[in-house]
Structure 1
């Protein structure tokens, strides 16, 4: 989308004369506690006007500092009539395309295409380029009155919500003025906050009107088109299914298909890599919205299996604790949950907690009788059981009263129950998050995948169709020539490597390192890879390539994490394990959602959260229930530490 926006900007030619009408500014001495909004209201101006004359205050107001307050009339600029050539479409170059094929597809001559894209003369055609496709010029005479432009450069950790709130506008207004940020919010990008020039006005008009090349859908999903070469054995049915279109729509987009599908045909198809991702939830601190109303009831169903431990005549309790990993996991989770419950007491949260032994194995549990005998239909939320099948049993028994059941540890997709909440992202969600991140950062993506990794190959072919695979040599090593031919200048080139083969890893890394003088490259893995931890792979190269991967958890050194570690160690005389931290995170997050001024389901639909090591970003699944899409993107930084990518 960003490329499309800039490509249209290139085609717009304007000559404007402007007249500034500005009165003398006045000054204001900042008092302690004053805000920009308060000052703007006092002088009947907007925060934008103050930021324009005092750009330094975007970092915060300082008491006793002096601000320049503009006259309200100074924000208007009048423009004379302009002429603009705005009718243009764009094309994103993909592998195997040629100038001849593109020119034939759009019915333009070689001279016309190169005139519209002068860089082709020197650079030639390269994968990833966005070409402006010339069309018949349509001259439009316009007379525009537009406002003075206010800009904002995006800082690390800023969001659309925080920026729009800072300037007193809506997210929709921000996106309308900056349509290229629909896919993400790049750090350092200059946003237009207020005002329009003839150029931006015409771009917005074009984006709104040009339905052929950017189609706005209800969820702000844009379809950008590219070309595709028909492969052997492909049919109209298979092509329309691959690209998610009806056969009628596919023919309307490619009229030549009326005469049948032929190998080698160049078709216009949706470029799915450029499709916008769904709007993600804003991460918020629920502690700011605690409602101390009626008391809530939270129930934990944890598999202590006490009768089995007490009935073990062979092993003592101590020996069982040494051998039984499942029991240790349960006790760790429970210990973390107790710290969360104690924290809730300190905060004065109106939550009553009941804990039961679910006595569960993978195929059995005591869940049904616990729910029946303890009237758990009156609970506001249930955490547990651990096994997916038992969590589904609880959800089914409590579905009539819509009591939320939080599945704390299962990775299974599970059967659809509207009241079942999966807290661990599925493997598919984790991989999707990695690709979403790379695309949001305008990355050029390629894959090096071992043939033995059939599940990864199938995943990329099914869900990431436009990601090309790097070729191998006969000896099984990576073809450096193939990898380098896919690299694109001035963009980050993400190489997704999935293999346990040491030689394949070495040749991939070598090809990437040798390309670093000319290209920006970063190594990416989708799943844990033990081979990377061996002495044969130089850790210095992984640092150099800033190895990046998706993770359900993160290493957290914040003050909150330090407090949790200290409190846990004080109570248990050891540092918390991953299961203990998860017990705290799931329990505390659930309790905080219970004490909002809305139902738990409503908080899930409106807010995402970060706890000590885990994210909770729930989305309703099409077939029922909720899945967590809270995934961290981690990378090795040059200082040898793991960091969370922005």
Structure 2
């Protein structure tokens, strides 16, 4: 007997309260079967089978008996399967009946008649020679009925899972080869429920995936919704209770996203090789440049920050155009100098044919960008903002820079999903008291520390003492938010925090004190000369960012080519010009247009930037993805979410 099976039987026999005989079934492995197929059949996961059958990880042999945990979602129906093995001869004796023979041989009367057809017309008599069927009888769990479903436009995994009342994990188990991203028209397997039981995703609402260890109280703090409100929006929730991975319908909330979209490499998805027409609008302000000498021109560039930034950005655009050509993409590119004047933007659009333009990149500044977007709405031309924030999102606007509130929500939600308990401390100066109070609402058990004030003037002195922080720390894991834009305050706090980190020492009975520092608003104060990078690394300082820095020592083709062409390393403006141009054009040539690409390419990523556009309920599109990064060994690296 399989030793593990013996252990299970003993556990059942001794009556452990957490296990009973109805929690398990058995399955005899057939030749060619896989764990994935068996798991799918019994509506469990491969990991659940491996947990009870560890030897199956090494080799799955035919005729092996597996312990199968029954699906907790729904008690499966056990069906009896009979396989005809042969016949046994029987000569009828006096007083024998079909009923007594069926009972004797463990078959049914109909099965005896089936293989002795004369009994359909004549009664059973003494001396009749019968052939009694011999069956191999096995019991198996009847799989929940499924059906084939055609993926519709805009549908991702979570939408289909919500529609059929299952988790994304269950959908993936039903379709082990479905891939990371679903395609329009793809065939998948779903539960065979009635049409009127299918739930529709209403775009007027948001949807939230329940995380591990989340109860109604934690959801109330995070979403601001009482238990009754959640149950009213989600029929069946009162009976089932909260479950990990469950998708809840909630009132519309831009900050809430069901899950991170899957990354797409658009270079593998190019399908339209017709010439595409794009326009680039930048505030070069060439009319202000002094071209009398090389030195005068250089001075003009240095003095004019608009020209300086525009040239850097445009250098990245040119690099992208070359890269796109190598991919076989044909481009017609118009470049316009907006002079950073609203009137000039109007003149450019009025004097040129923009009806054939597939997309416009720029202008840079908010006022000129809004003018361009509003005038190009009549042509339904998408206008992509490289750096603008809080833009008026007309229905043709693409804001490529993520909203500021996305940075905070990403950081806060990441900390909330940490299953390890942490002591939260919030340190802020007087200008960031509101930010501190907002964080206190997110982490209601957090301790708040405010910078000290001058006793005479009452002004903020931008410092705290070691004792201020030491009193708030606890043994174990501590997460400290530092909210300020003052360089001196950053230097003061980081040096104190770094000095308070302790490792466990049994000889002195010293408990470990771990300290990690974060901020919801990364700014120049944290990178100033007076702030020690060693302290930031020791504190594993982390924050959310709109972009990440490329690794200069890495094998990056763009960086190498840029250095070769321009004899310098590309700055953030140059990289943004490259990343944004690559993304806009690749989206156009891999979809019907830029608007449709939002559904077809949920997430793209290049050198320093990634793009996952989300549409406002009434309006345009904004980039809804950011990076989480932290300091490690004096380097800034991405934190996987």
TM-score by length of 1: 0.60
Displacement after TM superposition at 1:434 (Å): 1.5
Counterpart of 1:225 (choices 213, 216, 222) is 216
Displacement after TM superposition at 1:80 (Å): 13
Displacement after TM superposition at 1:295 (Å): 3.1
Contact 2:533 2:634 (C-alpha < 8 Å) held by counterparts: no
1: CA distance between counterparts of 2:54 and 2:268? Answer: 30
Contact 1:434 1:633 (C-alpha < 8 Å) held by counterparts: yes
Counterpart of 1:549 (choices 521, 533, 543) is 543
Counterpart of 2:464 (choices 445, 459, 477) is 477
2: CA distance between counterparts of 1:307 and 1:581? Answer: 26
Displacement after TM superposition at 1:383 (Å): 0.3
Counterpart of 2:19 (choices 14, 17, 42) is 14
Match of 1:613 in 2: 608
Match of 1:416 in 2: 393
Check if 1:452 corresponds to 2:431.
yes
Matches within 5 A, 1:112-151: none
Contact 2:562 2:569 (C-alpha < 8 Å) held by counterparts: yes
Match of 2:283 in 1: 303
SS at match of 1:327: helix
1: CA distance between counterparts of 2:303 and 2:267? Answer: 40
Counterpart of 2:580 (choices 578, 586, 590) is 586
Displacement after TM superposition at 1:620 (Å): 1.8
Match of 1:402 in 2: 380
Match of 1:327 in 2: 307
Match of 2:620 in 1: 625
Shift of the 541–48 alpha-carbon distance from structure 1 to 2, 3 Å rule, reads same
SS at match of 1:219: strand
Check if 1:524 corresponds to 2:512.
no
Shift of the 604–79 alpha-carbon distance from structure 1 to 2, 3 Å rule, reads closer
Displacement after TM superposition at 1:400 (Å): 2.6
Match of 1:367 in 2: 345
1: CA distance between counterparts of 2:529 and 2:553? Answer: 35
Match of 1:133 in 2: none
Match of 1:354 in 2: 334
Shift of the 172–50 alpha-carbon distance from structure 1 to 2, 3 Å rule, reads closer
Check if 1:645 corresponds to 2:639.
yes
Contact 1:424 1:552 (C-alpha < 8 Å) held by counterparts: yes
1: CA distance between counterparts of 2:27 and 2:55? Answer: 24
Deviations 1:551-587 (CA, angstroms, capped at 9, x unpaired): 2221223999621112112222222121111110111
Contact 1:305 1:357 (C-alpha < 8 Å) held by counterparts: yes
SS at match of 2:630: strand
Deviations 1:242-271 (CA, angstroms, capped at 9, x unpaired): 985699979x9xxxxxxxxxxxxxxxxx9x
Deviations 1:296-346 (CA, angstroms, capped at 9, x unpaired): 211111222223336999993232123222211111111110010011111
Match of 1:236 in 2: none
TM-score by length of 2: 0.60
Matches within 5 A, 1:42-81: 68=59, 71=62, 77=68
2: CA distance between counterparts of 1:630 and 1:568? Answer: 26
2: CA distance between counterparts of 1:420 and 1:276? Answer: 21
Match of 1:341 in 2: 321
SS at match of 2:398: strand
Displacement after TM superposition at 1:282 (Å): 1.5
Match of 2:412 in 1: 435
Displacement after TM superposition at 1:432 (Å): 2.1
Deviations 1:332-379 (CA, angstroms, capped at 9, x unpaired): 111110010011111111332222222224xx3411222222111321
Counterpart of 2:365 (choices 364, 373, 387) is 387
Contact 1:321 1:328 (C-alpha < 8 Å) held by counterparts: yes
2: CA distance between counterparts of 1:146 and 1:543? Answer: 56
2: CA distance between counterparts of 1:16 and 1:480? Answer: 59
Displacement after TM superposition at 1:465 (Å): 6.3
Match of 1:205 in 2: none
Shift of the 521–23 alpha-carbon distance from structure 1 to 2, 3 Å rule, reads same
Deviations 1:159-200 (CA, angstroms, capped at 9, x unpaired): x989x9xxxx9994406899xxxxxxxxxxxxxxxxxxxxxx
1: CA distance between counterparts of 2:591 and 2:227? Answer: 49
Shift of the 479–626 alpha-carbon distance from structure 1 to 2, 3 Å rule, reads farther
SS at match of 2:512: coil
Contact 2:216 2:227 (C-alpha < 8 Å) held by counterparts: no
Match of 1:262 in 2: none
1: CA distance between counterparts of 2:223 and 2:47? Answer: 49
Contact 1:451 1:457 (C-alpha < 8 Å) held by counterparts: no
Deviations 1:486-517 (CA, angstroms, capped at 9, x unpaired): 7585xx54211124324444444444557994
Displacement after TM superposition at 1:544 (Å): 2.5
Displacement after TM superposition at 1:530 (Å): 5.5
Contact 2:428 2:449 (C-alpha < 8 Å) held by counterparts: no
Match of 2:631 in 1: 636
Match of 1:138 in 2: none
Number of equivalent positions: 467
SS at match of 1:393: helix
1: CA distance between counterparts of 2:71 and 2:330? Answer: 64
2: CA distance between counterparts of 1:47 and 1:79? Answer: 7
Structure 1 segments unaligned to the other structure (5+ residues): 1-10, 29-35, 59-66, 85-143, 148-159, 179-216, 229-239, 253-269
1: CA distance between counterparts of 2:47 and 2:473? Answer: 47
SS at match of 1:595: helix
Displacement after TM superposition at 1:427 (Å): 2.5
Displacement after TM superposition at 1:541 (Å): 3.7
Displacement after TM superposition at 1:387 (Å): 0.7
Deviations 1:261-287 (CA, angstroms, capped at 9, x unpaired): xxxxxxxxx9xxxx9753332221111
SS at match of 1:355: strand
